Copies of this chain bind each other. A is one copy, B any other.
Amino acid sequence: MLLGPGDDAAVLRAPDGRVVVSTDLLIEGRHFRRDWSSGYDIGRKAAAQNLSDIVAMGAQPTALVVGLGLPGDASADWLDALTDGLADECALVGASVAGGDIARSDTVVLGVTALGDLAGRAPVTRSGARPGDVVAVAGRLGYAAAGLALLSSGVAGPEEFAAAHRRPVPPYACGPEAAALGATAMLDVSDGLVQDLGHVAAAAGVRIIVDPATLPVPPAMAALAADLGADVLEWVLTGGEDHALAATFPPEVSLPPAWRVIGQVAEAAGTGGAVVEVPGRAEAPGGWDHFRG
């Protein structure tokens, strides 16, 4: 950071002559609840969601700027905790909060923008998947959805999943790693695995076939789904907000252990076009995005 908070704007290094930028708006009641999440966790989550978009391009995050809408009932301690959460999540990737803006609002609103540096690499977009590539994921799938179901049910259950809803754990290092390994396409799983892979399929005009037997389903998640009468594979296939990374790689690439192969890229079928198929799973009425909030 060359010039930090306190002026009209911050000035940041952009060492390779380009800057990667992504923005998200997080709104109380839609993206978080103050009775379910602490200010600290909301800060961590808001930062994580945006830093994850930067690493999904294969870039290293450098900074966040944050616009904060704050209601009169939010205390200075709550604001401090939020600020600490933003800063601590940034610190995980060597980034920092470079500036911001505070406005009065009826509910808490966060407008978070993340910036990053590609270190000379080409950005990994959504559109480069080629037939024959493997599809792999790094990070968690279904944890936040399981946590949301648990918190919504009001019953007691494993804290691990409630914590995953409050604060994702994106596999930050895996983004630049995938770019260096030659990933052909990559994105951040924020809307659900199948829906987000659908963006990759559509952008490249290919078909993606996910093998459900390869999807990671922790026993505790399966047990929680059974307790709640939920379909655990639905959480894994359609749950967002864990900010896993999904990427396609040429088949000859040797993947490090953080990456798990879960499918293949194939030519688009004549009539079906660019789609995601999960053999043995029927697409729900309304499509794979019916589960979104």
Measuring CB to CB, which residues of chain A are less than 8 angstroms from any residue of chain B? 2-3, 6-15, 17-27, 29-31, 53-54, 56-57, 59, 63, 65-69, 98-107, 109-116, 118, 123, 125-126, 187-188, 203
> Looking at A14, A63, A107, A116, which has the most chain B CB atoms within 10 Å of its CB?
A14
CB distance from A118 to the nearest CB of B (A): 7
CA distance A101 to B31 in the complex (A): 13
Chain B residue contacts of A98, Cβ below 8 A? 21
Q: Cβ of B17 and Cβ of A15 under 8 Å apart?
A: yes
> Which listed residue, B11, B18, B104, touches A12 by the CB 8 Å rule?
B18
Q: Cβ of B8 and Cβ of A56 under 8 Å apart?
A: yes
Chain A binding surface SS class: strand
> Which listed residue, B100, B123, B126, touches A23 by the CB 8 Å rule?
B100
> Which listed residue, B2, B67, B110, touches A24 by the CB 8 Å rule?
B67
Once A3-B125, A109-B25 are accepted as A-B contacts, the answer to whether A20 and B30 lie under 8 Å apart by CB is no
CA distance A111 to B110 in the complex (A): 8
Q: Cβ of A13 and Cβ of B17 under 8 Å apart?
A: yes
> Which listed residue, B23, B59, B105, B203, touches A27 by the CB 8 Å rule?
B105
Across the interface, name the chain B residue whose C-beta is closest to A188.
B8
Q: Cβ of B111 and Cβ of A53 under 8 Å apart?
A: no
Q: Cβ of B18 and Cβ of A67 under 8 Å apart?
A: no
Q: Cβ of B27 and Cβ of A109 under 8 Å apart?
A: yes
> Which listed residue, B20, B66, B111, touches A10 by the CB 8 Å rule?
B20
Q: Cβ of B22 and Cβ of A105 under 8 Å apart?
A: no
Chain B residue contacts of A11, Cβ below 8 A? 18-21, 57, 118, 123
CA distance A118 to B126 in the complex (A): 31
Q: Cβ of B69 and Cβ of A109 under 8 Å apart?
A: yes
Q: Cβ of A106 and Cβ of B107 under 8 Å apart?
A: yes
Chain B residue contacts of A31, Cβ below 8 A? 103
Once A18-B2, A25-B67, A101-B25 are accepted as A-B contacts, the answer to whether A9 and B59 lie under 8 Å apart by CB is yes
Chain B residue contacts of A27, Cβ below 8 A? 69, 103-105, 109
> Which listed residue, B30, B116, B118, touches A105 by the CB 8 Å rule?
B30
Chain B residue contacts of A116, Cβ below 8 A? 9
> Which listed residue, B13, B99, B113, B118, touches A18 by the CB 8 Å rule?
B13
| With A11-B57, A67-B113 already in contact, 8 other A-B pairs whose C-beta atoms are closer than 8 Å | A6-B203, A8-B54, A23-B100, A24-B103, A25-B67, A25-B105, A27-B105, A109-B109
CB distance from A289 to the nearest CB of B (A): 14
Q: Cβ of B65 and Cβ of A23 under 8 Å apart?
A: yes
Across the interface, name the chain B residue whose C-beta is closest to A105.
B27
